[in-house]
Amino acid sequence: MTRAERKAHNAAMQRAEDKHVKEVVLVSACLLGLPTRHDGADRRREEVVRMSARCLLVPFCPEQAGGLPTPRDAAEITTGDGRDVLDGSARVVSMAG
C-alpha cells in the first residue's frame, strides 16, 4: 500500500469510526458466493458470509480486476508465491500452458 493509499484508508476508517459504521473488509468475491472463480463457480464460505453481521464486506475479484475473463483457464504460481511473481523470480502459468 502506498503512502497516499494508507493515508486515504486511515481517513476513511476514522470517518467510519466517527459515524459508528462497521469496519470495512475487502473479501474475495468467490467466498461471498459470487461466480468469479476460473471455472465460473463460487467458493462460498458461510463463516465469511456471517462476518457481514459485524463488518461491511466489499467483494473483490483480483483476477477480474486485472482484466481476466470468467470463465478462464486455471492458473497457478510456479516455484514461489505472489511476492516472487512481483519480483520476477516466479511465474503464473495457466493450465493450458
Instruction: For 33-68, give the DSSP string.
Output: T-S-STTS-----HHHHGGGGTEEEEEE-HHHHTT-
Kindly report the pTM of this predicted structure. Answer: 0.68
Rounded Cα–Cα distance for residues 29 and 55 (Å): 15
Position 57 scores a pLDDT of 93
Average pLDDT over residues 29-35: 96
More confident residue, 78 or 27: 27
pLDDT score of 96 more than 70: yes
Contact by Cβ (8 Å): 58, 27 = yes
Which residues, at least 6 apart from 26, have a Cβ–Cβ distance to it below 8 Å?
Answer: 58, 60
pLDDT tops 70 at residue 21:
no
